[in-house]
Amino acid sequence: MSPVSTREQRDGGGERGNRTRRAIVEAHAELIRGGDLLPTAAQVAERAGVSVRTLWGSFGDMEGLLQATTGYWFEQDSALRGEVDPSAPLAERIERFCAERARRLENISPAARAAQLKEPFSPALRSTRLGHVERVVHDIEQAFAGELDAAPDRAALLDG
């Protein structure tokens, strides 16, 4: 067990730091959702009610903040995710799958637009995009397993 610092004892084992990091990530996401696709550290810190020094102390650099914010968006997507009953009639599965995808894409679209600007330079953003793609492929495989299994070229159909 590691020693607990005096600061951690005062703020309940680092809960204050967790709240600060969460406020920074939420501020970053709010700015992006509001249309500022490349918010500066100063803008994020101001929105979160912290100093730029606190922001960098919490995340180290912009890549650290991007990684935390992409985690936030992934959590948001998870909350909107629903199961499509694979035994339901095909038309019902298609309707439900498309409605869910539309809802999730509307939620994530501000983050996706912002990510396009920095993705070539950010391992965190590239990794998260791949995670979202894998999640969608999994969802398609779950909802349409029978059709995929019956297809002459499963991989081509899934890629389509």
3 pLDDT band (50/70/90 cuts)? very low
Q: Model-level pTM?
A: 0.77
Alpha-carbon separation of residue 150 from 60, 108, 155, 157, 158 (angstroms): 50, 32, 11, 10, 12
Q: What is the pLDDT of residue 13?
A: 56
The mean pLDDT of the chain is 89
Question: Considering all CA atoms of the chain, what is the largest pairwise distance in Å, rounded to the nearest integer?
Answer: 64
CA end-to-end span of the chain, whole Å? 51
Q: What is the pLDDT of residue 82?
A: 87
**With left for phi above 0 and alpha for psi between -120 and 50, is residue 83 left, alpha or beta?**
beta
Q: What is the pLDDT of residue 10?
A: 55
- Domain ranges in the chain? 1-60, 62-160
Task: Look at residues 25, 16, 75 and name the one whose alpha carbon lies nearest to residue 47.
Answer: 25
